[in-house]
DNA sequence: CAGGATATGTAATTCGCGTTACGTTTCAGT
DNA sequence: ACTGAAACGTAACGCGAATTACATATCCTG
């Protein structure tokens, strides 16, 4: 009776051909994500997760072994999704300034969204307790984005718009320029949320400095 | 008998003319800093703090009211100290490249020291629970460093070494270039520690891009 | 439709830890 | 020394929460 809505909570069905156990599992993971992100690892309450997911505490423990196991499973299930969420739709063959601007704004907009920030806070906070998790996170996500930008830069370089020696390096530099201040501020000021205008301005600045300075490498 | 070394633990005496209460307070704050940084806010154990500081639980509660009060007091006492620790000895009238390199290396070296990283982790993790604290932290520290660099840049501009319109802005950009990747990695990979060579390399890159690109602003 | 496995709900069971109580000791000022 | 206040040490209190136990309900399979 308390879990009347167990399946409602379970968002779009993950896999159409999922057994009961799979459904339970998906619902648990989703609720776990919400609760862990909202309260942080230590403050997250197992009972609260069950309350949101429906189902029972017993099943949760049977499936994940405990809080730690649930947390790890939750992160695992999100890594792919969140990585591709980081994926900047690279602006195909757009001219350099326009392409960099679009990519930069998209990246920064995603990075400063509440959910991304929550994930980041959780990762940073738990880096010592869950080293492997933070590690895969720290390596996979940035790499994906960097590769995408590097490809775009190579495209532009071959079009003669800019001269770049090391595309990966250049991509790193650009993201450093774009990200830094706003990400830092957003992480520490939970109520601060950059406006579109601020983002545009920061990115415009980054584009100018990047184009002007990158050939000096 | 268990606090045989209460004063030993209390590092260099903070104020020569300190009453007993002041001594206790200083010892508590120091132990609190260690324990909070080591375990994080939730996992920090009041008894453990007393164990390290010497003194008694009762006194701790009498002086700080509780865990929250102790935490806030500890952070307060650290802010001034760490802010000035952040103070980059600005390289006076050194030539631009050399000055930027020195400032950048000093900054990055401090930023990637374990203690700075622990503080950062703690702040990020508790930003929601202690908004005011994180706020002063997020604003005071960077401002001090930025001001210092801005002053140096103005000096160099007046010496005709570079043309810059907005010194504060330029300083922000430089720190963004210097900080980003290594700080990000260090926060997420608790076992990673950049070598001096890595730091030098990153800063060299930043200097090149900055000098090449900053006039485009 | 039977039967065994799995899920459910609820209620213990522990356990860690923040906080408080209280009797004893130490200390500064007269 | 005398004395009142502050500090000490220790042990309890209380609570929140992870984990487990168990009796019941539900669902696939043969």
Query: Can you give the pLDDT of all 217 residues of chain A as single tens digits?
Result: 333 333 333 334 344 445 666 778 999 999 999 999 999 999 999 999 999 999 999 999 999 999 999 999 999 998 877 777 666 677 788 999 999 999 999 999 999 999 999 999 999 999 999 999 999 988 888 888 899 999 999 999 999 999 999 999 999 999 999 997 899 999 999 999 999 999 999 999 999 999 999 999 8
Residues of A with CB under 8 A from a CB of B: 40, 42-43, 120-121, 123-125, 127-128, 131, 134-135, 137-138, 142, 169, 172-173, 175-177, 179-181, 184-185, 187-191, 205, 208-217
CA angle A163–A165–A166, rounded 5-degree value: 130
- Which runs of consecutive H residues, i.e. helices, occur in chain B? 6-9, 20-39, 46-53, 57-64, 67-86, 96-111, 114-126, 131-158, 167-188, 196-213
Distance of CA B174 to the CA centre of its chain: 18
pLDDT tens digit sequence for B2-12 = 333 333 333 44
Fold of B87-216: Tetracycline Repressor; domain 2 (1.10.357)
Please list, in sequence order, all residues whose beta carbon lies within 8 angstroms of the beta carbon of residue A201, skipping any fewer than 6 positions away: none
Fold observed for domain A6-74: Arc Repressor Mutant, subunit A (1.10.10)
* C-alpha torsion sign, points B187, B192, B193, B196: negative
Residue A81 CB neighbour total at 10 angstroms = 10
Q: Do domains B6-73 and B87-216 have the same CATH topology?
A: no
- Please state the CATH superfamily assignment of the domain spanning residues B6-73 in this structure: Homeodomain-like (1.10.10.60)
Angle of helix B96-111 relative to helix B167-188, nearest 10 degrees, comes to 40
- Domain boundaries in chain A? 6-74, 87-216
* Nucleotides of D strand lying within 7 Å of any protein CB atom: 6-11, 16-23, 27-28
Minimal CA–CA distance to A137: which of B187, B72, B12, B124?
B187
Q: What is the predicted pLDDT for the residue at B98?
A: 95
Residue B168: predicted pLDDT: 96
CB atoms within 10 A of CB A103: 26
**Dist CA A50 CA B187 (whole Å):** 31
**pLDDT reported for residue A86:** 64
CB A65 within 8 A of CB A27: no
Of the candidates A184, A171, A170, A212, the one whose C-alpha atom is nearest the C-alpha of residue B210 is A212
B38 touches strand C (CB under 7 A): no
Residues with CB under 7 A from strand D: A 20, 43-47, 57-58, 61, 66-68; B 1-3, 6, 20-21, 24, 54-59, 62-63
- Phi, psi angles (nearest 5°) of residue A202: -60, -45
B83 contacts B141 by C-beta, under 8 angstroms: yes
Q: Kindly determine whether residue A135 and residue B180, on different chains, have CB atoms separated by under 8 Å.
A: no
Average pLDDT over residues B145-170: 95
Among candidates B184, B188, B212 on the partner chain, residue whose Cβ is nearest the Cβ of A212: B212
> Chain B partners of A121 at a C-beta cutoff of 8 Å?
124-125, 127-128
- Three-class DSSP category at A49: helix
> Are the beta carbons of B40 and A135 separated by less than 8 Å?
no
């Amino acid at each position: 009776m308390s879990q009347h809505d167990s399946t409602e909570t379970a968002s779009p069905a993950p896999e159409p051909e999922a057994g009961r156990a799979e459904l339970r599992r998906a619902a648990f993971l989703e609720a776990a994500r919400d609760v862990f992100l909202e309260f942080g690892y230590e403050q997250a309450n197992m009972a609260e997760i069950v309350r949101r997911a429906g189902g029972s505490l017993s099943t949760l423990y049977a499936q994940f072994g405990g809080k730690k196991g649930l947390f790890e499973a939750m992160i695992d299930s999100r890594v792919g999704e969140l990585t591709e969420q980081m994926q900047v739709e690279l602006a195909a063959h757009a001219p350099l300034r326009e392409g960099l601007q679009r990519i930069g704004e998209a990246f920064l907009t995603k990075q400063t969204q509440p959910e991304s920030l929550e994930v980041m806070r959780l990762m940073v906070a738990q880096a010592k307790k869950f080293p492997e998790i933070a590690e895969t996170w720290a390596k996979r996500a940035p790499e994906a984005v960097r590769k995408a930008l590097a490809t775009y830069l190579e495209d532009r370089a071959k079009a003669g718009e800019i001269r770049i020696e090391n595309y990966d390096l250049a991509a790193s530099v650009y993201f450093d320029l774009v990200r830094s201040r706003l990400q830092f501020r957003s992480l520490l000021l939970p109520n601060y949320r950059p406006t579109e205008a601020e983002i545009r301005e920061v990115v415009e600045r980054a584009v100018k400095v990047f184009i002007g300075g990158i050939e000096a490498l």
